[in-house]
Amino acid sequence: MSFKVLRPGLLSSLQDIGRIGYQKYGINVSGAMDVLSLRLANILVGNKENEAALEITMTGPTLEFLSDTLIAIVGANLSPVIDGVAVRMNRPVAVKAGAVLKFGACQKGCRAYLAAAGGYDVPEVMGSKSTYLRGELGGYQGRALQKGDIVDCGKPSSFGEHTLHFLLMKGARSFRIANWFVNPPHMEDAKLAAPIRLTKGMQMEAYKDECVEAFLQETFKVTTSADRLGYRMQGPQIELKAPLEMISEVATFGSVQVPPDGNPIILMADHQSVAGYPKIAQVISADLARVAQYKPGSRMSFRLVSIEEAEEICFEQERYLESVKIAVMSKC
């Protein structure tokens, strides 16, 4: 199984759950911006949840399949079509050799994930297939996909093989979709518009009370300085009670730090290993997928929750994923 890149799109790179355990050496974790969509896409094609998928940002690529392949597209709705026919998302799709997958207008969200049964056959670097673009590390030759690239897939699981053959034997000109699907909860309109939930940052008490109140009550605009490294926000100025000199400390995905200009920055998947700006808050892990789906120009609001609430929300998300796995495996 493999495909050829006819057009690369804005930014298409291979990402898994990240390069875990090397941040102490200054190596970025990287990985998928929306890990929930990544995990769901992999489940739908019978892969392990942490297998790499193609992360597609806003403007998707054009891909020609060189062999019959089982795929799933989860996350942002980038108007996918195969040979000119709209293809439904959030379900297994059997694609025949010679078919061409294209993406159109970005209707909802920012990032989609294209999983292929068997995963993508690229070498692991420090235990991960994730692409760290600035460091030219991992993924497909350490970079985003380019025109002419041929990406090979691995051997599908028994579920992947069975589903591919079952769908194609029903007859299909270019592709065939399963008649069942999942509903990613974080992509529902109400969930996307809901406040992003936060826990207190290590330096929240160092900020003026009125600034913390504004941070939690007003909305912030995602500026054009928003990428895999971080989202720079624009809104009410966040000011310290007094000048604060800090020794750089560990940074993590979802940390909300505030530089001297008073505009908060949400650190994202390619965040640096340490950071020196004070941190006002931390996005809860269960809401990182929602943050990843915000486009530049959109507006974001925040809500403070306790550590206990954040843990329960995380457990709820894991229970949802486990129920999806059980339901999908029952289709085999």
Q: What's the pLDDT tens digit per position in 227-285?
A: 999 999 999 999 999 988 888 888 899 999 999 999 999 999 999 888 889 999 999 99
Positive or negative, the CA dihedral 33, 39, 41, 47 is positive
Quick one: DSSP state of residue 204? Answer: G
Query: Does the pLDDT of residue 26 top 90, yes or no?
Result: no
Query: Does the pLDDT of residue 171 top 80, yes or no?
Result: no
State the pLDDT confidence band at 166, using cuts at 50, 70 and 90.
very high
State the pLDDT confidence band at 97, using cuts at 50, 70 and 90.
very high
**Across 208-231, average pLDDT:** 96
CA 270 – CA 29 distance, rounded (Å): 7
State the pLDDT confidence band at 113, using cuts at 50, 70 and 90.
very high
**CA nearest neighbour of 14 among 134, 133, 148:** 133
Q: What are phi and psi of 16, to 5 degrees?
A: -115, -150
3-class secondary structure, 66: coil
CA 137 – CA 331 distance, rounded (Å): 37
Mean pLDDT of all residues in the chain?
94
pLDDT at 1: 74
**To the nearest whole percent, how much of the chain has pLDDT over 70?**
100
Site of tokens 């009370």: 209
pLDDT at 250: 84
- Up-side HSE of residue 32: CA atoms within 13 Å toward CB? 32
The two three-digit tokens of residue 98, written as one number: 């010679």
Residues 6+ apart with CB under 8 A from 122: 14, 52, 129, 138, 139, 140, 151
Query: Does the pLDDT of residue 315 top 80, yes or no?
Result: yes
Does residue 60 contact residue 9 with C-beta atoms inside 8 Å? yes
Domains of the chain: 2-185 (no CATH), 189-319 (2.40.100.10)
CA 29 – CA 22 distance, rounded (Å): 7
3-class secondary structure, 200: strand
For 212-268, give the DSSP string.
Answer: HHHHHHS-EEEEEEESSSEEEEESSPP-BSS------EE--TTEEE--TTS--EEE-
CA 223 – CA 166 distance, rounded (Å): 46
Q: What are phi and psi of 286, to 5 degrees?
A: -70, -20
CA angle in degrees (0–180, nearest 5) for 321-323-324:
65
Residue at 304: amino acid letter: L
Higher pLDDT, 126 or 189: 126
What separation in angstroms does the CA of 73 have from each of 44, 54, 56, 70, 246? 9, 9, 10, 11, 43
**Across 121-148, average pLDDT:** 95
What separation in angstroms does the CA of 120 have from each of 14, 103, 160, 166, 270? 8, 20, 14, 22, 21
Q: From edge to edge, which strands make up the β-sheet containing 265-267?
A: 299-300, 220-226, 230-234, 265-267, 255-257, 279-283, 196-200, 302-304
pLDDT at 273: 85
State the pLDDT confidence band at 90, using cuts at 50, 70 and 90.
very high
